[in-house]
Amino acid sequence: KAGVTQTPRYLIKTRGQQVTLSCSPISGHRSVSWYQQTPGQGLQFLFEYFSETQRNKGNFPGRFSGRQFSNSRSEMNVSTLELGDSALYLCASSLAVESDTQYFGPGTRLTVL
Amino acid sequence: DAKTTQPNSMESNEEEPVHLPCNHSTISGTDYIHWYRQLPSQGPEYVIHGLTSNVNNRMASLAIAEDRKSSTLILHRATLRDAAVYYCILRGFQKLVFGTGTRLLVSP
C-alpha cells in the first residue's frame, strides 16, 4: 500500500507570493492533518480535515487555509508569504480520527526569500 | 492554551530503560494519548497510543496514570536508533493538543 505522498517536495517562493501544497493520503484514509515544522518552534498543528470538513484548527493566521476533496486528497494554501513561513510542511493521514494512527508524509520544504 | 508538557531533553545510556513523562492535565474522558517520535531528517512516526489502560507493543510501553492527567512512555532497552524527539499528543473530538516534545539522547 502506498504511503502518504506530498507534492512538491521542495519549493522556493518570494515574499508576497502565494503557494499551494498537495497531500495524497493512504488509500482508504479519510482524515488528513497538516503541520508546520521549524527549527525554532518545533512541530505545530495547522488543521485537520475529515470527510471534506475541517474538524480542528491550530493557531495560525488566516493566510493559512486548506481544503479536502471528495477523494480525501488535501491541499493547503498560504497567501502573502512571509519569511517566517519558511518551514517543512508535513501532512499526515489516518482512517478516522481520535483513536487511529497517523501516518506522515515526507513533507514539503518551503523556502521564502 | 491547552497543551501537553514534556521535558525538553533527557539522556540515557544504551541498553538502559528510559521513562519519558508527559503531563496532560486538560485531558477529557474520550481523549486518546498518542506518542510519536521523529528521528533526524525524517517525518514523525507512530510509537504507541492508549485511552485508559496501560499498553504494550513491540516498540514501547505506555503507562497511564489512574486520573489520566499524566502518562509515561517506556523504552525498555534504549538503543542508539531510539535517539529522537518524542511527542506526546492528545487526540479527541475536534481536539488535537501536543507540546514541544522531548529530545532523547542515547549514549553508547
Confidence band for B1, pLDDT divided at 50, 70 and 90: low
Question: Could you give the CA distance from residue B7 to residue B20 in angstroms, rounded to a whole number?
Answer: 8
A9 touches chain B (CB under 8 A): no
Question: Could you give the CA distance from residue B9 to residue B26 in angstroms, rounded to a whole number?
Answer: 22
Instruction: Express each pLDDT in B5-56 by its tens digit.
Output: 999 999 999 999 999 999 998 888 889 999 999 988 788 999 999 999 899 9
Kind of pairing between the strands at A10-13 and A108-112: parallel
Percent of chain B clearing pLDDT 70 (strictly above): 98
Q: Most B CBs within 10 Å: which of A51, A55, A98, A104, as the mutation test of the B interface?
A: A98
pLDDT at residue A1, as a whole number: 64
Point out which residues pair with A113 in neighbouring strands. Answer: none
Q: Compute the average pLDDT of residues B65-82.
A: 95
Cell numbers representing residue B14 in the block: 544504551
Instruction: Express each pLDDT in B54-71 by its tens digit.
Output: 999 988 999 999 999 999
B43–A99: do the CB atoms touch at under 8 Å?
A: no
pLDDT at residue A27, as a whole number: 94
For residues A35 and A92, the answer to whether their CB atoms sit within 8 Å is yes
**Looking at the partner chain, which of B46, B51, B96 has a beta carbon nearest the beta carbon of A101?**
B46
Question: Could you give the CA distance from residue A52 to residue A40 in angstroms, rounded to a whole number?
Answer: 31
pLDDT at residue A79, as a whole number: 95
Question: Could you give the CA distance from residue B78 to residue B107 in angstroms, rounded to a whole number?
Answer: 9
pLDDT at residue B9, as a whole number: 96
Cell numbers representing residue A72 in the block: 480525501
For residues B62 and B49, the answer to whether their CB atoms sit within 8 Å is yes
Q: How many residues does chain B have?
A: 108
Write out chain A's pLDDT in tens, 113 residues: 679 999 999 999 999 999 999 999 999 999 999 999 988 777 888 999 999 999 888 889 999 999 999 999 999 999 999 999 999 999 999 987 667 888 999 999 999 99
pLDDT at residue A97, as a whole number: 66
Question: Could you give the CA distance from residue B59 to residue A43 in angstroms, rounded to a whole number?
Answer: 22
**CA dihedral of residues B71, A45, A84, A16 (deg, nearest 10):** 180
